[in-house]
Amino acid sequence: MSPTPLDEINSVTVLGFPPGASEVWAEDDGDGGRIFRHLKAAANTVLEKAVRPIEELDADISPLSCGAYRLRKWEETLDLVRTRTALWGTTEARRRAVIARLREYGAPTRAQIQAVLGPLLDYPDPSLLVVLECDRAGLRLAHTYSGARRGAGGWTHISPAVWDFWVNDADRVAPGCVQADCTLTTADLSTVGATLVAPDGSVGQIPVGALGRGGAAARPTRLFFHGITTQNVLGLWSVLVFAGSAPHTGTLDAATLFCEGFGRRGLASPQFEWAVVYEPSKSSGSPDFDATREAILRLGFATRTGGLVFPASPAAGLPPGDWGMIPNDNALPDGCVPG
């Protein structure tokens, strides 16, 4: 049988006396073991008043191992005392909630989102938590317009080449600015300038000489129009390419326009949205949706909108591959991260 902590302390105490003392002060000595019992009582006092408090302090330093009293203090400090888990959850569930709260301090990467929200949803393996985010490349492709050339496509210093685009979007221009990819053919790019006209008449200008130097034969060139600040992107946009002076000419062979509306109604808003998918099969069965929802609000840092969703259920009339927002989680009709 392994020695108890009390036996270990008693042995150390006895070793402090001269050799042979343990034989004289044996439990069955002539005076009835009074000295032995005295030493054992002293060892018990050391155990209860020194060793165990120190062990408890050592455990309480970390929320991974602290007792119920210190766990409650962690919950009070982190403002978790009113959550369902803190009020009715098991000690282990409360411990996971505290650790998840501490993990919130940092950049909201995919790994951090999983580490924070996985335990709150009672996932034994948080890395299995699905995080939905916008496909930025797909979103850019969806908001790139082909448009149509107006006229023959040639330009001079008197008449520009014009390409028109109809943008079916809403709200103001997204911060990334409007961009036009133009395929140009000219003897000297340094003689070429461009203008972008927005539906409300706002004008973005690229001065002559800003597109480069030398000749271009069907050369793709991306034009950034940072000066456009229109408050409504819906409508007809036009790109005009021209020569700054005679006798320079050229042709606008092809063009596309990337334009996004930024705001509640704008089509660019999905890039600022994300969601986690609660899948019951991956959970141990005791998710704290309230705590998860509150953590999602904090993780966004007022820059992104987060959500908590269920996989589609035929019983609810949702098609496979779709997601259903959990009620009361900033849910808006038709306003969820696309699945």
Residue-wise pLDDT for 283-331, tens only, equals 998 888 888 888 888 887 666 788 898 887 666 566 666 665 544 444 4
The residue out of 261, 290, 317 marking a domain boundary is 261
Q: Are residues 274 and 312 in the same domain?
A: yes
Look at residue 73 and tell me if it is in a domain: no
DSSP, res 191 = G
Q: Return the number of other C-beta atoms located less than 10 Å from residue 87's C-beta.
A: 11
Predicted confidence band of residue 45 (pLDDT cuts 50, 70, 90): confident
Checking if the pLDDT of 333 tops 50, the result is no
* Beta strand 250-258 pairing with 178-186: antiparallel
Look at residue 195 and tell me if it is in a domain: yes
Strand positions, DSSP E, 187-288: 192-197, 203-206, 216-225, 235-243, 250-258, 261-262, 273-277
**Residue 7 or residue 181, greater confidence:** 181
Q: Are residues 257 and 179 in the same domain?
A: yes
Q: Are residues 234 and 178 in the same domain?
A: yes
Look at residue 67 and tell me if it is in a domain: no
Look at residue 99 and tell me if it is in a domain: no
pLDDT of residue 258: 96
| 111 residue type, one letter | A
10-38 pLDDT tens trace? 677 766 666 666 666 665 555 556 666 76
Q: Are residues 234 and 280 in the same domain?
A: no
Q: Are residues 53 and 196 in the same domain?
A: no
**Residue 15 or residue 71, greater confidence:** 71
Look at residue 78 and tell me if it is in a domain: no
Look at residue 82 and tell me if it is in a domain: no
CA distance 143 to 167: 8
pLDDT of residue 78: 85
Q: Are residues 235 and 204 in the same domain?
A: yes
Checking if the pLDDT of 338 tops 80, the result is no
CA distance 329 to 277: 13
Look at residue 337 and tell me if it is in a domain: yes
Q: Are residues 224 and 126 in the same domain?
A: no
Checking if the pLDDT of 263 tops 90, the result is no
Q: Are residues 56 and 35 in the same domain?
A: yes
pLDDT of residue 316: 59
pLDDT of residue 203: 94
The residue out of 22, 43, 60 marking a domain boundary is 60
Q: Which residue has the tokens 């600022």?
A: 272
Residue 55's domain comprises 5-60
Look at residue 66 and tell me if it is in a domain: no
pLDDT of residue 318: 65
CATH code of the domain containing 244: 2.60.120.260
Q: Are residues 241 and 331 in the same domain?
A: no
> Can you give the pTM of this predicted structure?
0.60
Q: 131-149: buried (b, 16+ CB within 10 Å) or exposed (e) per residue?
A: bbebeeeebeeebbbebeb
- Mean pLDDT computed over 46-67: 66
- Domain count of the chain? 3
Which tokens sit at 20? 């042979």
The residue out of 261, 283, 302 marking a domain boundary is 261
Least confident of 6-15, 80-89, 232-241, 243-252: 6-15
Collect all residues with Cβ–Cβ distance below 8 Å to 77 and sequence separation of at least 6: none
